[in-house]
Amino acid sequence: MSKPQNPRAEFDRLMQQCNHASVRELAWAVGSSPLLSHTSENAMLNANFFNAAWQERVDWLHELDASSEQIAGLCAHLESGSKRLGKRFERLIWYWFEQHPAWSIQKSNWVISDSERTIGEFDLIALNHETGENWHIELACKFYLSTRKTRQWSDWKGTNVQDDLQHKMDKLKQQLNLSHHPASIEQLKANDIHIHRRAGWLKGWFFHHFRDISSPIQPRLAERHCNVGWWCTQSEWHAWMSQSSGEWLELSSLEWLQPVHAIEHAPQSAAHIAQRWMSTPLDKAQMLAQVIEIDQKRVEVSRGFVVQDDWPGLPHQQ
How far apart CA 112 and CA 185 sit, in angstroms, is 10
312 within some domain: no
How far apart CA 249 and CA 266 sit, in angstroms, is 7
3-state helix, strand, coil in the chain (%, to 5): 35, 30, 35
* 128 neighbors 198 (Cβ within 8 angstroms): no
Averages of pLDDT over each 10 residues, the chain, 318 residues: 71 91 96 91 90 97 97 94 92 98 98 91 98 98 97 97 96 96 97 97 97 93 96 88 78 88 73 83 92 79 93 63
5 φ, ψ to 5°? -65, -35
pLDDT the model gives residue 161: 92
pLDDT the model gives residue 314: 54
318 within some domain: no
31 within some domain: yes
pLDDT the model gives residue 297: 72
The helix (run of H) or strand (run of E) holding residue 23 is helix 21-31
2 within some domain: no
For the chain, the domain total comes to 1
60 within some domain: yes
For residue 206, give its domain range: 7-307
316 within some domain: no
